[in-house]
Each structure stands twice: as structure tokens, then as C-alpha cells.
């Protein structure tokens, strides 16, 4: 599975037109601000209908424009070509697959799995708890539609429950407690199993790439850690309603779970250096790739966006040597930046990127 070509119009600074992407490895080389990341963002937007850089789609349109459009052609595992289109016009987003409008995001995200490595990924290691919840929820949503449904329904019920608490409508809380417990306990079980699987991948991968004996692991700490059934969750929510009223919100639940990256019992964001934290964020994404392949027997498309600059030459080589489980990879590099020759083959594509234009060249 890979992207074969992409067409953009009024997408940030990208020059309108088609760009050939039919290769397992595509290298985009250029200085900052020339359009390398914009192309990766366009591909990600086709996969998920959203950006990994902004939640406001109108910010993507070229300066002075109010709309944009992206068209991507990709080949599936059987070699059949498909067309994805994303258009933002009149403040409305429209996504279509093979000419048919995609009305539910769930019908989009399982077509062409995509993982992006970005500079902001360090938030998964040293950022707020919601960053790590986002990472693991994204990981599970990539392959499990039932988890995606539970998460979406949980959030909907949570909004309704919080509104009832603020408005003092206690008569509805019992119903919301049951619904929150049903979806929440399913999510908690999935998170528990996923954390356990990550601990079979992440620690050893970090040791191999860092070439140290540093032990890192994922600690999953559920908010409902003493609850194993829906009934126990309902009882817990009922017994803490007064606290919820005082705080004017639901004070427990999977929206308050924590994932902690630790080393020998200490939070890694406290004990690790900046270089170690950066490497850990890259290894997390690599573990996400390996986990996805374990769960689906499929390999994702990966977008690797200027994330190697803080690694020394040796660690960079080791990291790149472990990037194997992808169907297609697009890398961005600065003109004078070293990149591993082991990544390249005779069919790799190289582009020099200047002011939104992509010029074919040699590596």
C-alpha cells in the first residue's frame, strides 16, 4: 500500500499540480519553510481528514485564499488504485473516496494507515497526561473500530453528564453513570492490554537504539484502578457525586487515566536528558508501527518530518536501521543533513523543495 501521486490546489505554499510519489522511499530535501512539511501534512489530511499541525482547517489555505483541495491516488495491497479527495470550501470540509462522500470519519481512517513522526512528539514523553492518552487512543483507533466507537460514545456521554452536573439536573446522572461505565470499562480493558503489548516492544527497542542498558517502560494508571466491572464503576460514580458537584465536572473516568513513561520507578521526563527524551519519542512511534503490524499484519505509510536533527550520527543510524515495518516512507531533510544510504534503493524518489515546488533529482 502506498501513495502513487498527489495533487494540491491552494494548499499552503505548495505549487498547484501533480507530484509523483510512486516509490517505497521518497526523500524531500530543502531548507525550512520551503514546503516539505506541507506535503506531509497534505498526505496525512487525506488519510484522516485532519491535520497534525492545526485544528483549524482554514489556516491551511494559501495566504489570501479561503479554500483548498487535495487529491491523492493510492494503491492498496491488491494493487487496486483508489482516489481520496479532501476539499475545504465555504468553511466546510468534504472528503470523498472513489467519488463517494465519506460522511463518518470512521469510514476514512482504515483505508490507508498513516503514522507521522514530528518534532511535537516529544510531548508524548514529557508533556501533559492528555498527550499520552491521545497517543495510545490513536494507536488503538488505527486498527479497532469498536474501540473508536467506545471512545466517541464515552466522550459524548461525558459531555452530557458534565452539563447535567453544572445545571443541577441530578435525575439524569444514574443513566449517564451506566453509559459511562459501559463504554469506559471497555476502554480501560483495551488500554490495559495495549500498555502490556507496548512493554513487550518499547523497552527492548529503546535499549537497542540507544545502545544503553536504560530500562524504560509504560505504566498505565487507570482512574478507576479499583474497578473491574461496570457495576463497580457505577457504584464508584454514585459515591463520588458530591465531589463532582463541588468541582462541577466528572472527576473520575478514563478521561483522567495516566500513562507514565518511567525508568526504574521514576518518571523518565524527570530522569532523562533532552536527547534521551527525544529518542524515546521516536522509539514510541517506532513501537507504534510494530504494534500496528502485530495487530493487523499490515504495514503503515510513515511520514518522518525533521525529527533526527537532535540525534548524533550513531544513534541516527541505529534508529533508521530499525525503520523496517512500513509500506512507504517519506522523509524530510535539510540540504546538508546526513541521511542513511541504507534507506535508499535504485527506485527511491528524491525531490529538492524550493518555495513550494518539487524538482526531481538524485540522492
The string of pLDDT tens digits covering residues 256-302 is: 999 999 998 899 988 888 888 999 999 999 999 999 999 999 999 99
Residue 255, φ and ψ in degrees, nearest 5: -75, -5
Pairwise CA distance, residues 25 & 35, whole Å? 18
Is the distance from CB of 258 to CB of 37 less than 8 angstroms?
no
Pairwise CA distance, residues 38 & 118, whole Å? 12
Q: Distances in Å between the alpha carbon of 95 and those of 9, 90, 224?
A: 15, 14, 38
Is the distance from CB of 6 to CB of 20 less than 8 angstroms?
no
What is Dmax (Cα atoms) for the chain? Answer: 69
Count of other CB atoms within 10 angstroms of residue 324: 12
List helix spans (H) across 224-312. 230-239, 241-247, 268-271, 274-296
**Over 90: is that where the pLDDT of 24 sits?**
yes
| Locus of grid cell 542498558 | 213
**Over 60: is that where the pLDDT of 363 sits?**
no
Pairwise CA distance, residues 176 & 183, whole Å? 11
pLDDT at site 42: 97
**Over 80: is that where the pLDDT of 342 sits?**
no
User: What residues form DSSP beta bridges with 171?
Assistant: none
Q: Sheet with 266-267: list strands edge to edge.
A: 217-221, 258-263, 266-267
- CA neighbor of 355 nearest in space, from 27, 42, 38, 59: 38
| Locus of grid cell 525531490 | 351
- CB hemisphere CA count around 165 (13 angstroms): 23
Q: Is 111 exposed, middle or buried (0-12, 13-18, 19+ CB in 10 A)?
A: middle
pLDDT at site 75: 95
* Range with lowest mean pLDDT among 105-109, 180-184, 223-227, 293-297: 105-109
pLDDT at site 253: 97
Domain 1-113+299-363 matching CATH 3.40.50.300: the answer reads: yes
Pairwise CA distance, residues 130 & 160, whole Å? 20
Count, in order, helices (H) and strands (E) of the chain: 10, 15
Is the distance from CB of 140 to CB of 147 less than 8 angstroms?
yes
Grade residue 343 by pLDDT with cuts at 50, 70 and 90.
low
Domain segments of the chain as ranges = 1-113+299-363, 120-297
DSSP element (H, E) containing 199: helix 173-210
For the segment 178-196, the average pLDDT, to the nearest whole number, is 97
Angle among Cα 18, 334, 55 to the nearest 5 degrees reads 60
For the segment 333-347, the average pLDDT, to the nearest whole number, is 73
| Per-residue cell: 1 | 500500500
Helix (H, G, I), strand (E, B) or coil at 165: helix
What is the third-level CATH fold of 120-297? Glutathione S-transferase Yfyf (Class Pi); Chain A, domain 2 (1.20.1050)
pLDDT at site 193: 97
pLDDT at site 329: 95
For 258-271, how does the pLDDT look when each residue is reduced to its tens digit (9 = 90+)?
Answer: 999 999 889 998 88
Amino acid at each position: 500500500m502506498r501513495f502513487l501521486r498527489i495533487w494540491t490546489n491552494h494548499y499552503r505554499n505548495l505549487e498547484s499540480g501533480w507530484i509523483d510519489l510512486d516509490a517505497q522511499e521518497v526523500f524531500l530535501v530543502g531548507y525550512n519553510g520551503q514546503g516539505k512539511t506541507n506535503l506531509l501534512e497534505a498526505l496525512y489530511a487525506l488519510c484522516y481528514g485532519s491535520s497534525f499541525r492545526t485544528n483549524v482547517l482554514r489556516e491551511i489555505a494559501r495566504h489570501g485564499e479561503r479554500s483548498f483541495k487535495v487529491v491523492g491516488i493510492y494503491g492498496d495491497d491488491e494493487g487496486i488504485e483508489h482516489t481520496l479527495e479532501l476539499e475545504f470550501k465555504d468553511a466546510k470540509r468534504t472528503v470523498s473516496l472513489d467519488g463517494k462522500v465519506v460522511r463518518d470519519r470512521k469510514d476514512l481512517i482504515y483505508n490507508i494507515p498513516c503514522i507521522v513522526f514530528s518534532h511535537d512528539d516529544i510531548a508524548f514523553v514529557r508533556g501533559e497526561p492528555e498527550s499520552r492518552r491521545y497517543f495510545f487512543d490513536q494507536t488503538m483507533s488505527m486498527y479497532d473500530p469498536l474501540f473508536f466507537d467506545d471512545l466517541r460514545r464515552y466522550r459524548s456521554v461525558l459531555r452530557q453528564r458534565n452539563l447535567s452536573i453544572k445545571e443541577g439536573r441530578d435525575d439524569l446522572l444514574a443513566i449517564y453513570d451506566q453509559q459511562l461505565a459501559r463504554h469506559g470499562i471497555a476502554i480501560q480493558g483495551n488500554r490495559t492490554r495495549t500498555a502490556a503489548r507496548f512493554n513487550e516492544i518499547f523497552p527492548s527497542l529503546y535499549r537497542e537504539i540507544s545502545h544503553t542498558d536504560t530500562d524504560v517502560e509504560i505504566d498505565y494508571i487507570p482512574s478507576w484502578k479499583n474497578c473491574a466491572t461496570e457495576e463497580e464503576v457505577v457504584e464508584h460514580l454514585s459515591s463520588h457525586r458530591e465531589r463532582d458537584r463541588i468541582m462541577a465536572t466528572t472527576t473520575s473516568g478514563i478521561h483522567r487515566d495516566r500513562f507514565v513513561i518511567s525508568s526504574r520507578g521514576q518518571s523518565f521526563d524527570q530522569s532523562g536528558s533532552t536527547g534521551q527524551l527525544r529518542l524515546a519519542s521516536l522509539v514510541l512511534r517506532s513501537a507504534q508501527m510494530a504494534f500496528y503490524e502485530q495487530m493487523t499484519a499490515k504495514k503503515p505509510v510513515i511520514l518522518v518530518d525533521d525529527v533526527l536533527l537532535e540525534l548524533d550520527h550513531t544513534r541516527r543510524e541505529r534508529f533508521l536501521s530499525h525503520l523496517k515495518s512500513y509500506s512507504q516512507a517519506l522523509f524530510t531533510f535539510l540540504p546538508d543533513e546526513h541521511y542513511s544510504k541504507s534507506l535508499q534503493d535504485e527506485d527511491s524518489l528524491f525531490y529538492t523543495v524550493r518555495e513550494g515546488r518539487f524538482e526531481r533529482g538524485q540522492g
